[in-house]
Amino acid sequence: MNEGFDLQNYLIEGVEGVVKEAIKATIKNPRESAFMLKFAAASRAASKKRRKAEDNGEHIPPFLIASITSSCNLHCAGCYSRCNHATVDSEPVKQLSGEEWLRIFGEADDMGISFILLAGGEPMLRRDIIEAAGSSQNILFPIFTNGTYMDEEYFGLFDRCRNLVPIMSIEGSRELTDSRRGSGIYDRLMANMEEFRKRGLIFGASVTVTTKNYAEVTSEKFLGDLAERGCKAVIFVEYVPVSEDTGSLAPTDAEREHLMREIQRLRDERPEMVYIAFPGDEKSSGGCVAAGRGFFHINSHGGAEPCPFSPYSDVNIKDTPLREAMRSPLFTALRSGDLLLDDHKGGCVLYEKRELVEALIKQAE
């Protein structure tokens, strides 16, 4: 890590940057901009909580990823969640209840966590949890959805609870989207976007960036079309291989550099949308920000994991407070060691060096 690098400052500046961009992107929508200004105040208060904790020797990340169900109606090619067996076709068992997630959201708010990304499986299968999230107004909840469960009840919920922001997954063109996600999915997404636009509701898009689509999904045509349809955020998720036969889909260093250059250009030239890359430029952030450095992951059964791409856990949120889970032996070892700072070929350092992560789990037992 760079000498003198202040991770907390880096994260605070990153959060403030996202919020400022979101305010600019929603300025023409009075209800949305009013909510974003209110959220900006809550975000500043959360940053103060995290800074105070940091000064007392406790690091709190601004982000949390919550996979709230193991069910999904699609079988997308190369899906990391299915490869990790976190998403299955059998009936879910022993998953966290809506009440348990509401407790977690409350603890996250108390700690100063500003963003909780809801994922799955398909998160919109758990309406009870999304309603619980809507009541947690100090936190912004991007909902990573395949878009196939939008209905009148959900549109009403998104209208009432502006802290819920659906982020619909798209791969680029109709051909690229349907080839990975299934026939007819692209047209369904376009219909959803039109409905959101007509109702004046904010939404975003999530793009899995691979060697096959990295140029198209950063093109003026693709992004201009999203902007015209009312999209306010684009989250570029770099493909992470979770099996040996999908390694060729992970963007190369040159392709990742192209992505980061384009994102910077887009922020300057197209301020009507927010642009975020995940995991992003690890060099500028002093290494991987998983395991609680910048975020961590809770799976549908309550296991606290470093990252969705690294499904290892030594503590469960069902019987452990969130703040205590942050200090689990695995998270502590990862944050205090050099593994998160190591060079790697691309994709995910924790996946690439999973044998070392498994060894840390065994040491903690």
Which residues of the chain, if any, have pLDDT below 70? 1-5, 7, 10, 242, 280-285, 343-347, 364-365
**In the structure encoding, which two tokens stand for residue 287, read together?**
């290494």
- Give me the residue spans of the domains in the chain: 7-364
In angstroms and rounded to an integer, the radius of gyration of the C-alpha atoms of the chain is 19
Residues 6+ apart with CB under 8 A from 192: 147, 150, 168, 203
Distance of alpha carbon 169 from alpha carbon 185, whole angstroms = 10
Query: DSSP readout, 72-88?
Result: -S---TT-HHHHTTSS-
Distance of CA 243 to CAs 83, 249, 354, Å?
Answer: 7, 11, 12
pLDDT at 284: 63
Nearest to 61 by CA among 274, 280, 322, 342: 322
- Report in angstroms the alpha-carbon separations of 82 from 70, 147, 351: 9, 18, 15
Per-residue pLDDT tens over the stretch 40-74: 999 999 999 999 999 999 999 999 999 999 999 99
Q: What is the pLDDT of residue 2?
A: 45
Indicate the CATH number for domain 7-364. 3.20.20.70
Cis peptide before 121 (omega within 30 of 0): yes
Does the pTM exceed 0.95?
no
CB 205 within 8 Å of CB 235:
yes
Helix (H) or strand (E) holding 167: strand 164-169
**Using CA atoms, how far apart are residues 289 and 295, in angstroms rounded to an integer?**
6
Model pLDDT, residue 1: 42
Per DSSP, 320 falls in state S
Q: What is the largest CA-CA distance in the chain?
A: 55
Tally the residues of the chain: 365
Query: Where would I find the H helices in 26-164?
Result: 30-55, 80-83, 98-111, 127-134, 152-160
> Would you say 172 and 207 are in contact if contact means Cβ atoms under 8 Å apart?
yes
Give 278's strand partners.
237
Are the beta carbons of 122 and 69 closer than 8 angstroms?
A: yes
The two tokens of residue 30 are: 């009075």
